[in-house]
Structure formats: C-alpha cells, structure tokens
C-alpha cells in the first residue's frame, strides 16, 4: 500500500511526481481541483465531484482532452493500485504548459494530475468535543463558487485560525454576512431551523453540503438555504461545518465565546449520524 501519483499518464510514487516549471498552475494558479475520499474501498460521491470539476473547468475555459469515462477508469485504477481501502484522492487540472504570459492560447493541452494517499480523518475525540472557529473578513476574489487553485486568501485565513488555536476560519462578507469557511461550508441551527448560505455564486457548492441537505430534508428536518448574519451566527444554538474530510463537525467556540452550551449540539450529532448511515453504511 503506497501513496501514488498520476501526471498526464505517468504513474510514480507521490514523492517523485513532477510537473513543468512553466505549467500555468504553478505560475498563475491557473487551474482547478477536486478532493475526494475512499471509504471501505469505494470512492465517495465520485459523480458529484466530477460534475463540479467540469463546471469549474468550463467556468475558467479549460477544455479537457479526455472523456469522463476515461477519467473515471483512471481514478478507479489508481485507487486499486494504491491498495488503500481508506484514502484521499486529490485531482488537479491546470491550463497546461506555455511561455509565461498572462493571456493564454485556447489550444493548450491541460495538465491532469491525480494522487491517492493516506487520509487524515477527524479523530473521534475531536468530533466528540467539537472545535473552535474564528471569523475573518471575506476579502477573496469574486468567484468563490469555482474550485480554483487560487487559494492564498483561504491559506492565510486558516493560518490565522491556527495561530489563535482554532480549527477553522469563517468568512464574513461586508462585515455582516456569513459566507463559508477556509476549506468547508458552514451551517447554523437557529431555533431548531438548520440554515446555511445559498449557492448563489458567493460560496463553493460543497458536495458534502449538498448531500447532507438532501439527507436532512429526506428525514424531515427543517432546512433553509439563506443568508446568515454575523449576529445570528453568534447567537446560534449550534454551528457545524461540512466538507469531504470532516463530514459534519460541531463548532463549540466562536471568536473565543461558547456556542450554545459549549459542546457539539444535538442536531449536529443527529445529522452526522444520519449522513454516515445514509451514505457510508
């Protein structure tokens, strides 16, 4: 069992994988990506992730030179070759290799890179106790709905959270509206109503976010996709975040103040168990 990489058809160990210095992903962050997980040997929500990858490529005008079925086979074969029954799959598509100039030719061949490696699951004690989060001003670019490689603002926000002893940073637009987190989506439970910001172009439409909403609605939980103000977030009975890596994880401290009673809430726990039983069992 090993971490392996695939770069434009060449398979190596992850440590030995290489791309050109002139790749536009390296020079400009000119590309998009997806991250998926393998659970018990099965790739979780592969069609959903590939749908979003295609939307992201279309949005920045990268034209793939592969068929979707071919890509699916490649991913499945890499997982099988790795021998990992639980894994992280990371896939990155850049515009390709070209002389360094801002404008690009429509005829470039994209660089497709994939790796399969050991996952970094949430520790049971972390899920049981919940995590801390901070709020930061949302000063990112105008297209957060595209899963682009331009992640410097997210990196800086997450670093600020880490330096304050927090797990995640929640972006606040215009000083009052909650959008999303540095690497996850955010939900609040307000008077037993589950609320999360809408996918109107201001947030990344998370795969786990969408599947959790589906599971919650099927179980008749009251759900609303709507804006949350910072004041509402601070007064919420529960806050939790969602992503491929954490599923649903309770936030128990926001900007140094307890959320609810300072422990992961009842609805957060119910939704996590519902999500796992709905998609992983």
Predicted confidence (pLDDT) per residue in 237-265, tens digit:
999 999 999 999 999 999 999 999 999 99
- Confidence (pLDDT) at 281: 75
Cβ atoms of 125 and 79 closer than 8 Å: no
- Confidence (pLDDT) at 228: 98
CATH code of the region 124-279: 3.20.10.10
- Confidence (pLDDT) at 2: 81
38, with CB counted inside 10 A (0-12, 13-18, 19+), is buried
Active site residue 147: yes
- Confidence (pLDDT) at 1: 73
CATH code of the region 4-117: 3.30.470.10
- Confidence (pLDDT) at 29: 96
| 105-131 tens-digit pLDDT | 989 999 999 999 999 999 999 999 999
How far from each other are the two terminal CA atoms of the chain, in whole angstroms? 24
pTM value surpassing 0.75: yes
Largest CA distance in the chain: 57
Cβ atoms of 191 and 232 closer than 8 Å: no
| 166-223 tens-digit pLDDT | 999 999 999 999 999 999 999 999 999 999 999 999 999 999 999 999 999 999 999 9
Average pLDDT, the chain: 96
All structural domains of the chain with their residue ranges: 4-117, 124-279
> Does residue 31 register a pLDDT over 90?
yes
Rounded Cα distance between 149 and 18, Å, is: 17
> Does residue 280 register a pLDDT over 80?
yes
Cβ atoms of 6 and 115 closer than 8 Å: yes
Exposure string over 224-263, b if 16+ CB within 10 A, otherwise e: eeebbebebbeebbbbbbbbbbbbbbbbbbbbeeebbeeb
Pick the catalytic residue: 37, 129, 132, 147? 147
- 148 backbone dihedrals φ, ψ, rounded to 5°: -80, 160
Q: Categorize the per-residue pLDDT at 272 as very low, low, confident or very high, splitting at 50, 70 and 90.
A: very high
- Confidence (pLDDT) at 239: 98
| 125-139 tens-digit pLDDT | 999 999 999 999 999
Rounded Cα distance between 179 and 185, Å, is: 8
Q: Identify the DSSP state of 122.
A: P
Rounded Cα distance between 100 and 93, Å, is: 18
Secondary-structure percent of the chain, ordered helix, strand, coil, rounded to 5: 30, 30, 40
- Confidence (pLDDT) at 222: 98
Rounded Cα distance between 267 and 189, Å, is: 8
Note whether 4-117 and 124-279 share their fold. Answer: no
């Amino acid at each position: 069992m090993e971490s392996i990489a695939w770069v434009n058809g060449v398979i190596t160990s992850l440590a030995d994988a290489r791309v050109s210095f002139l790749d536009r992903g390296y020079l400009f962050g000119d590309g998009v990506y997806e991250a998926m997980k393998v659970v018990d040997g099965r790739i979780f929500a592969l069609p959903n992730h590939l749908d979003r990858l295609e939307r992201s490529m279309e949005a920045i005008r990268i034209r793939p030179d592969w068929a979707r079925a071919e890509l699916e086979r490649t991913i499945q074969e890499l997982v099988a070759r790795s021998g990992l029954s639980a894994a992280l799959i990371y896939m990155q598509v850049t515009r390709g290799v070209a002389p360094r100039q801002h404008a690009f030719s429509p005829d470039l061949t994209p660089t497709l890179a994939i790796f399969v490696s050991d996952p970094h699951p949430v520790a049971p004690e972390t899920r049981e106790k919940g995590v801390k989060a901070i709020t930061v001003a949302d000063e990112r670019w105008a297209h957060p709905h595209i899963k682009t490689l331009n992640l410097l603002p997210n990196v800086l926000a997450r670093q600020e959270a880490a330096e304050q002893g927090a797990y995640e940073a929640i972006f606040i637009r215009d000083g009052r509206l909650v959008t999303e987190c540095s690497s996850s989506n955010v939900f609040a439970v307000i008077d037993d109503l589950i609320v999360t910001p809408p996918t109107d172009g201001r947030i990344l439409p998370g795969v786990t976010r969408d599947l959790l909403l589906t599971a919650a609605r099927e179980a008749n939980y009251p759900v609303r996709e709507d804006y949350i103000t910072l004041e509402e977030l601070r007064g919420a009975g529960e806050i939790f975040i969602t992503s491929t890596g954490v599923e649903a994880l309770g936030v128990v401290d926001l900007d140094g103040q307890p959320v609810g009673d300072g422990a992961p809430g009842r609805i957060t726990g119910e939704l996590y168990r519902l999500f796992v039983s709905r998609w992983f069992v």
